Amino acid sequence: MRRLLLACAVLAGACRPAGGPPPFTGPVTLGGRVVPAAALERGRNVYTQYCRPCHGDSGDGKGTAAVGLVPPPRDLRLGVYKFAAVSAGQLPRDADLARTIRQGLQGTAMQAWQVPDAQLDDLIQYVKSFSPRWRSETPGDEIAPSPDPWVGRDSEAQARGTRVYHGLAQCAVACHPAYVTPAEIVAFTKELTGMELHEIRADITRPVAKDSDYGFKILPPDFKFNPLRGGDTPADIYRAIASGIGGTAMPTWKNVLPESDLWALAHYVRSLAAARDRPVN
């Protein structure tokens, strides 16, 4: 019997992916939650099935299937996440990680995974184990959406969003493309801020690559050409604007802009994305 148990242990070790975390022998506190070792080991198995080919054994984003992927798979060891309903840079809630897993990220190799409900939480806890941030920090407070004040008034929302995007939030000044003329940008800025805008970058119709926490520059999306990775409903876009995009130059706009303007921006960005999908006559 002893030899049989020893053989099983050896085989189990041989089947365990090399380079991953060592076996969990006791509970681990992750994000302020005590997670049993058994749950983490179950999560390891689920991760191996769904995530390991791209994110790698150690969560570094360098799995065997990651070669040539643009954008590259997330390095889970950083504990930095782009899409979550928390202030940019804070750790996401479990619901945020579940949403990314279940919905995927549009325009990337991260597809929507229908992980069974019984396995999803174990997978999320195991993913957390790659980054030391989860052992010392807790998730940020949820940025919950307010009711959309523009329901049934899309044209009004888009008109307001056009002005907020170009004149108040100044989205095109240093990051995203402009979708109106320089003269309109000057007029919208004067209208909404009272400021005179004397200089506009020459390449205003193009996005500007910005530094990120991921080790490479990121080009902000051109909404008429690039997919909305965090989702394309007004609520999805509101969440991205209000919360910001973690690890990038996109800041948190919640409590900076009025709620009606956050929603107007969401409707305007959605209209730009919808124009991308219209057939060219």
**Does residue 4 register a pLDDT over 70?**
no
- Residue 18 pLDDT class (50, 70, 90 cuts): low
Q: Let me know if the fold of 27-136 is the same as that of 154-276.
A: yes
| Each residue's pLDDT tens digit, 239-273 | 999 999 999 999 999 999 999 999 999 999 999 99
**Does residue 19 register a pLDDT over 80?**
no
**Does residue 49 register a pLDDT over 60?**
yes
pTM of this prediction exceeds 0.85: yes
Residue 265: predicted pLDDT: 98
| Each residue's pLDDT tens digit, 67-90 | 999 889 999 999 999 999 999 999
Structure tokens at 50: 């769904």
Residue 3: predicted pLDDT: 40
Q: Which CATH number fits domain 154-276: 1.20.1250.20, 1.10.760.10, 1.20.1440.230, 1.10.10.10?
A: 1.10.760.10
Of 225, 238, 240, 246, which is closest to residue 267 (Cα–Cα)? 238
Domain 27-136 has CATH 1.10.645.10: no
Residue 276: predicted pLDDT: 74
**Does residue 12 register a pLDDT over 90?**
no
Mean pLDDT of the chain: 91
Residue 2: predicted pLDDT: 38
CA distance 70 to 58: 20
| Each residue's pLDDT tens digit, 211-248 | 999 988 999 999 999 999 999 999 999 999 999 999 99
